[in-house]
Amino acid sequence: MANAVKIRKLPEAELGSRDHLIWKNIPLWFSFQSAAGLLSRSEPVFNSATNPTALIDTYQTGEFMSRLNLAPHVTTAFHWGNFHLVPSFGIRETYYGEAQAPYRDRFPGGGHEHREERSGFFGGPDFPSLARIYNKKTVFGDKLKHVIEPRATYRYVTGIGDNFDRFIRFDETDLLSDTNELELSLTNRIYAKRGDSVQEIFTWELLQKRYFDPTFGGALASGVRNVFESTADLTGYAFLVGPRSTSPVVSLLRMSPINGLGLQWQADYDPRQRGIVDSTLSVDYRWQKYFVSAGNNEVHNDPALAPAANQFQVRTDSAIQPPRMECRGNRGLRLPQGRDPVFHRPGDL
């Protein structure tokens, strides 16, 4: 394909450790993630100023560009009754064998690139949840339990600054930027007891982020699509085309009313456009070793706010991405994998 983006991450090795207690009887946990590999990326460059379909150049890194990444983290926890506070601090060091020059100066950029990031966040606080048990038997199970969980997460990252455009994009590791943000969420869960098992049959989660640094340390470019880690972990749809202090409100609904049937719907409501700007709906059903799946994706962009089409590697001024709708369907035979996992929640259900 003429507009294909090719990324190779081979050979690459990853080494990591989950949280483990450093000292006995002291609530302090240590974890880390590390990776080292030889990578390559190539893609076409089009003339965005006059003819977005006219190929004028090809961006190509070295065939074996090195990237080293190390990210240790330390986490602790404080508990006061049903109130939980989970602060964490981490440092990430990343070394790139090549750096990317500004787009209008052509590619590739020369020299090495070193990135240092210092991050701290409070993975809470988890406020006391509200719960109620319904002992009446229904079509969903013998008992039902409704839980409401509010949560707030503050995150601060610094050390990257306005060098974001110099990092070559291969995966989510390269999307990290400075940020000072607060995420608020409210989750409703319904559990059903069916015999001796407990299943989460309904989940509705509402999330929104408040950005105290609307330019993300100077990394944000106005008038084009921007994708950062702090936006991608909220929704898969890009919404930053200029400085803004709040994200869209993300609504994520998951249902499994009967065994084998699953439904998920995500809708992003943008207060700036006063409507739902993105929507993803998927339904799947499993019966013995067979499955069928269907889905629908919709994007409703405001042409006055919609950004350029190339969102991941190079920021351009190419054509505006129009609103679109995609439908998909799939059916097939499931390979033997054992029983599906059942989500249990400890408690008095």
The 10s digit of each residue's pLDDT in 270-317 is 988 888 888 999 999 988 888 888 888 888 765 544 444 443 333 333
pLDDT band for 52, please (50, 70, 90 cuts). Answer: low
- Residue 125: is the preceding peptide bond cis (ω within 30°)? yes
Mean pLDDT, to the nearest integer, of 198-224?
92
pLDDT of residue 184: 94
Nearest to 267 by CA among 230, 299, 292: 299
Lowest mean pLDDT among 63-67, 256-260, 316-320: 316-320
- By three-state DSSP, how is residue 249 classified? strand
- Burial (0-12, 13-18, 19+ Cβ within 10 Å), 1: exposed
Q: Is the pLDDT of residue 54 over 80?
A: no
Q: What is the tens place of the pLDDT at every residue in 88-107? A: 888 888 888 888 765 434 33
Mean pLDDT, to the nearest integer, of 232-254?
91
Task: Yes or no: say if 18 and 7 are a contact pair by the CB < 8 Å rule.
Answer: no
pTM of the complete model: 0.78
Distance of CA 157 to the CA centre of its chain: 16
Q: Is the pLDDT of residue 256 over 60?
A: yes
Mean pLDDT, to the nearest integer, of 4-16?
91
Burial 170-187 (b: 16+ CB within 10 A, else e): beebbbbbbbbbebebeb
pLDDT of residue 112: 55
Amino acid identity of 5? V
Which two tokens mark 161?
Answer: 């600054």
Q: Rounded mean pLDDT of the chain? A: 80
pLDDT band for 5, please (50, 70, 90 cuts). Answer: confident
Any idea what DSSP says for residue 240?
B
pLDDT band for 43, please (50, 70, 90 cuts). Answer: confident
**In the block, residue with structure tokens 């015999």:** 195
pLDDT of residue 291: 83
pLDDT band for 15, please (50, 70, 90 cuts). Answer: very high
Nearest to 191 by CA among 238, 250, 151, 149: 149
